[in-house]
Copies of this chain bind each other. A is one copy, B any other.
Amino acid sequence: MSGRNISPNLALDQRIAERRARGERIVHLGFGESRLPVFPPLREALVEGAERNAYGPVAGAEDVRTAVAGWFGRRALPTTPDQVIVAPGSKALLLALQLVHPGDVLLPSPCWVTYRPQAVLAGKRALGVPVPAECGGVPDPDALRARIRRARAQGQRPGILVLTSPDNPTGTTAAPALIRELCGIAEEEELLVVSDEIYRDLLHDPRRPYLSPAEVLPHRTVVVTGLSKNLALGGWRIGAARFPADEDGRRLRDDVASVASENWSTLAGPMQQVAAYAFAEPPELRARLAADARLHARVAAAVYERFVAVGAVCRPPTGGFYVYPDFEPLRAVLARQGVSDDEGLQRLLEDHGVAVLAGRHFGDDPAALRFRAATSMLYGDTREEQRAAQQAVERGEDPLLLPHVAEVLGDLERALAKLTAV
């Protein structure tokens, strides 16, 4: 089992942190962390939760599961508390799901770095399917049908379909019609749909139509979410899953609870208090979240524009805080600098002071010149700068005009200009 690596995004973040600690100036687009301060009422909930030092129920205490059920209910997914499990991150829930539900895993390609190694850890095959031209996070329907046929012909057993919207790494959102078509395939092929909706509250335009697969296929969809992205709480490790209400759904929930009880036991008590507060969505929290979503939208759009300006092809971001440019139109320019694949491009960018993560880590073709740029760490290195960025948005001002944001975007522009002007 040696030769394992830690998740490449976490490894990159550690390397960049070390380079910065040595005083190097780097535009850090390499890590999908919302680098913003903790919203004070969340800290208060943590403190209130300190007395929760008993183990408590594996799936989470009643008050937490009730809050999570309400959260889903307000998103067109009526839910009872017994359909919910909370955990130290949605990642742990996704792994548990893969450990208990049989069959190989169909993944959009590119997709989040973790789905594939989790499938391997669970003894499954990861079957990548290209995403459509219009958005990432979900497979192209025709390609999905073909992949399933091919898989079955080869004796593989596709059992799980992972959909992510808005997605990581492309920062785009699947249209309702596309979700419906994919759900039709899942129903025909008897697949469990795992719908990763962790970026759902970070739609750049809150009026954008959103459809969860759980609305279409309630009996075969598990939805996972968490507080890491929308509330900038990655380091607090809070995730939740919603299981179908029927008999099969209850069995699946029990199976995941079984794995939970042998793995993480239960979400830490103080974090359960935080989850109970956050998933209840009091008005002050909604206001904070809405403003932060506008900040993410503005900065992601700015980074997108800078890649497109130098000739890259890129889907415009519509949710979360990622863009996924394709430097194919610049292949000749890059070839002159010895770059012919995505890791070469990642290295060249890093040499120019820009950290990104090559497409292969998301299951993409290594020969392509694609990478993910996470835009959520550009709000400032200090809490003061980050608060200033939030306050600019709150006041209706443009956060790009703040000197520290303008500076890092300037660094990015200069780096891109240099490596595309060779």
Residues of A within 8 A of B (CB): 1-2, 4-7, 10, 13-14, 31, 33, 35, 37-38, 43, 46-47, 50-58, 88-89, 91-92, 95, 99-102, 114, 117-118, 121, 123, 232-237, 251, 254-255, 257-271, 383
Contact = CB atoms under 8 A, between A and B. Distances in A.
A251 B99 CA distance: 24
A255 B53 contact: no
Given A10-B261, A53-B233, A236-B53, A270 B46 contact: yes
Contacts of A260: 6
A265 B237 contact: yes
A171 to B, nearest CB: 19
A101 B271 CA distance: 31
A402 to B, nearest CB: 21
Nearest to A270: B46
A5 B89 contact: no
Given A46-B46, A266-B235, A6 B258 contact: yes
B53 A263 contact: no
Of listed A13, A257, A264, residue having the most chain B CB within 10 A: A264
Given A6-B254, A254-B4, A258-B5, A264 B89 contact: yes
Nearest to A88: B88
A371 to B, nearest CB: 20
Contacts of A257: 6
A55 B268 contact: no
Nearest to A120: B262
Contacts of A91: 262-265
Given A46-B46, A88-B268, A254-B6, A95 B53 contact: no
Contacts of A232: 53
Contact of A121 (B118, B235, B262): B262
Contact of A6 (B33, B233, B261): B261
Given A37-B53, A88-B88, A236-B270, 9 more contacts: A4-B259, A5-B254, A7-B262, A10-B58, A31-B55, A38-B53, A53-B232, A121-B262, A236-B269
A95 B261 CA distance: 11
A111 to B, nearest CB: 14
B265 A57 contact: no
B266 A237 contact: yes
Given A88-B88, A95-B262, A261-B6, A237 B268 contact: yes
